[in-house]
Amino acid sequence: MSGPLLEAMDLYKSFGPTPALDGAGMSLWPGEVVAVMGPSGSGKSTLLHCLAGILRPDSGTVSYNGTELSALSDVARSELRRTEFGFVFQFGQLVPELTSLENVALPLRLGGMRRREAEQAATEWLERLEVADVAGKRPGETSGGQGQRVAVARALVTRPKVVFADEPTGALDSLNGERVMRLLVAAAKDTTAAVVLVTHEARVAAYSDREVVVRDGKSTQVELIP
């Protein structure tokens, strides 16, 4: 690939009279982990949602693999999020009625994979994320750290090109947070997935290759972290 895998340029986005992005931008290359940092309300989550095609910016461009996301239909963007992108949110957002195994297999099942094959792949990812012992438990029966590792397994089971992680350790204590980040980054590196990591914590950003700092809707790209 001659250019970035994902690139945002000159993004503006407002919610009513309130500006969220004011010319922000960033690039993401295959296989790298980029931490998007900034205080609460700085626009970092809005930037992530625009990068993932969840939100359309008011102006500016977001290109994935050379294709501008705004040129795609809603259906095409949804398909992209299901097949090429993976998501990890602060509170996991697992389906409460499903077991951990069923939650991880769900993206594959939605893509048409047979149950046995999907659950076999899900089992492998639960083992990889060190939560195979909760395969038969529902989210309400697992700890926060276990649930977040199940969410990471679900994000990676389709082998996405980009993983979007929005405050993935925000609801965890430091020990569980470190474990989630270690496993997330190692698994992403093994599958050559790139990661956009939104965080306000320096200890979480330390797992990245470089940082993008967002303040008042504007972004500054920081050189590689030593």
Mean pLDDT by 10 residues, the chain (226 residues): 88 95 95 93 94 95 94 92 92 91 96 96 96 96 94 95 93 91 93 94 92 94 58
Q: Are 153 and 122 in contact (CB under 8 A)?
A: yes
Residue-level pLDDT at 90? 82
Q: Are 188 and 33 in contact (CB under 8 A)?
A: yes
Residue-level pLDDT at 225? 46
Domain ranges of the chain: 1-84+163-169+192-226
Residue-level pLDDT at 198? 95
Residue-level pLDDT at 127? 96
CATH code linked to domain 1-84+163-169+192-226:
3.40.50.300
Residue-level pLDDT at 171? 86
Residue-level pLDDT at 40? 86
CA atoms within 13 A on the CB side of 189: 11
